[in-house]
Structure 1
């Protein structure tokens, strides 16, 4: 049976690309929408078209000058050297592309709307969200706007005070940490690959008391992630007693992703989602990183199915299988001979392994800090 969860999406993501060589050349949100509909999981009653945020709404965190630069870049399809240096747009990571303002403004509009919808208890899914590297005056890490920050500011405007932000993307959410550093009613918990760009989020970095950063070693497996969830994430969230949980569910921590060196199956993400869901009356789930079109589409569709109350099929029906078989991954070796299960299933085989002592030691360090206040 489907629940009362709401899926925020848009057709702007279909065919929109950062460029033929950029990691975000692959379709992601459109694949999730297509797969969910092929499975019968996305009736019109559960789908909300994402509004595009107007510049004035974005000024709650982003600077007017930066927003004007993004709009000018979209109109001209180029930027000056001065704009590039000041705002970090027009770079290889954050290129000028046809929808450089409209696309992130749509993702941000969805997250702003999610905050409004969660004035009352509920569940909202915005897979286009999770752009956690954006700063008030500059882009970073493929992120032009910071929709997680905007979502949480939107929640605050609805009177939702205590927010737990959990980020399981392979990359540290430097923009979110910047946005809420020292905020006593915000608790950020980030699990990210040690040494991976942006090379922030050290174990000892607590952002004025609001952040718990766990850098994890390459090769992180499902067994280790289960321990992190059970011994760190859940206790820290329970202790905080949040009014809302925001989960950034980046898909780049999975084994097949070309941008990180972690080894999770999509079961690890689902387990974190399941553990967090009962811990607050409001849940917002965002997307984030993820650069293998099959692993992103399969995970984020599983996330929606879980939120909406559907069970994973043992084998995908032909209509859903056709969505996955139509994907391509040009320019990457993982796309040359994709395994059959990427076409026929949503659920990965578990990727279990030993628990490394260095990880246990880091978790204990964070728990000691929590106990000491």
Structure 2
């Protein structure tokens, strides 16, 4: 097997754009590439375009309902018909909703599916050990409707493709602050796909699911693990729960490949959630996943993007740290040697897109949490998280 890591360079990501004011904005990808380039950490020879476009269309039709796909295609026209517009709310694509339709939506969403499938194929075929497709990770889409900014579920499509072509056992890891509901329900009865999601409790956050009692069903019982975090959870508790869950799941399930989703909205700065973690979890979590991939799956690891709505202060650093770990970049040594990770490149950011925040941009790779206001109820939150973890793990090995 090859030992390289590849970056799926997907031009469809810029076309997947709801509006300039929508929180799911492709400027996040632009800023991440900008940071990595300024750091000298994005080797152009490792960047490859996606293929499998025809295969992606076939897989989309295999996992999504025909009437939903047809409506997506009709709403993708520059001037959708009155009939299509009247059906948009039924499929989660209303103009004033969270996932509004936009021109060429089908083509852009299918392009993201092709990217995630290409990453999976590269790893499973042995052309690469690890592959990153940051425009992917649209984990909320369901067979019959869009949800949570997600039109087609590229993560589910990549897993379905792996299962069909290679027959491999897939451990899916979702670290987005929002429960990975779409992927979970696609494979809820499949014993060969293990879904692990760590997220803010659905008691307070969209999509209102992902509780410890969601454990899979029928033959898939025991192949679903939900780690529900209390609001204002901080680094130590988040990392402790994630590590225990990850190690238990990998040991019991023995995966052939890991597919992970890396929404970075569990950061304290994110405006759409209540978890209070720092950049530390985005340094440690990829390191844990890579170690598990090497121990159980011969290193095979496909990573996808996802949520993250502090476009300037959080997403570029978090996704850059993911790439640095996947590509085993020497810059990690200096980041790990400093409490704040060391300075960011002075030339970053040099992106003029979108609007900058009113607060100062970070100057270091990690956060100075000592300057943050201490969270009240820290001990109580930690105990609740540990209890939720204990309940969730009862059915795992």
Q: Give the TM-score of the pair, scaled to structure 2.
A: 0.84
1:300: Cα distance to partner? 0.6
Partners of 1:29 and 1:128 within 8 A in 2: yes
The equivalent residue for 1:345 is 364
1:278: Cα distance to partner? 2.6
1:215: Cα distance to partner? 1.5
> What are the residue-to-residue correspondences of 1:21-36 with 2, within 5 Å?
21-25=21-25, 27-36=27-36
The equivalent residue for 2:109 is 104
Bigger shift: 37-46 or 244-253?
Answer: 37-46
Partners of 2:195 and 2:225 within 8 A in 1: yes
Q: Structure 2: state its 5+ residue gaps.
A: 336-341
Q: Of 188, 199, 210, which aligns to 2:195? A: 188
CA RMSD, 1 decimal: 2.3
The equivalent residue for 2:242 is 229
Cα shift readout 1:92-139 (whole Å, capped 9, x = no counterpart): 211122342222212111111112112245101011111001111211
State the alpha-carbon separation in 2 of the partners of residues 234 and 124 from structure 1: 22
> What are the residue-to-residue correspondences of 1:180-219 with 2, within 5 Å?
180-194=187-201, 195=203, 196-208=205-217, 209=221, 210-219=223-232
The equivalent residue for 1:299 is 318
1:158: Cα distance to partner? 3.4
Partners of 1:248 and 1:285 within 8 A in 2: yes
Cα shift readout 1:187-206 (whole Å, capped 9, x = no counterpart): 11111111211101122111
Q: Of 239, 263, 280, which aligns to 2:276? A: 263
Partners of 2:52 and 2:117 within 8 A in 1: no
State the alpha-carbon separation in 2 of the partners of residues 15 and 57 from structure 1: 21
1:254 aligned onto 2:273: no
1:50: Cα distance to partner? 2.8
1:368: Cα distance to partner? 2.1
State the alpha-carbon separation in 1 of the partners of residues 259 and 110 from structure 2: 19
Q: Structure 1: state its 5+ residue gaps.
A: none
Give aligned pairs, total: 360
1:29: Cα distance to partner? 1.7
Bigger shift: 16-25 or 297-306?
Answer: 16-25
**What secondary structure, in the 3-state scheme, does the structure 1 residue paired with 2:144 have?**
coil
1:47: Cα distance to partner? 0.4
1:329: Cα distance to partner? 4.2
Cα shift readout 1:241-282 (whole Å, capped 9, x = no counterpart): 110111111111111111111111122133121112132221
The equivalent residue for 2:65 is 63
The equivalent residue for 2:358 is 336
1:4: Cα distance to partner? 1.1
State the alpha-carbon separation in 2 of the partners of residues 77 and 296 from structure 1: 34
The equivalent residue for 1:123 is 130
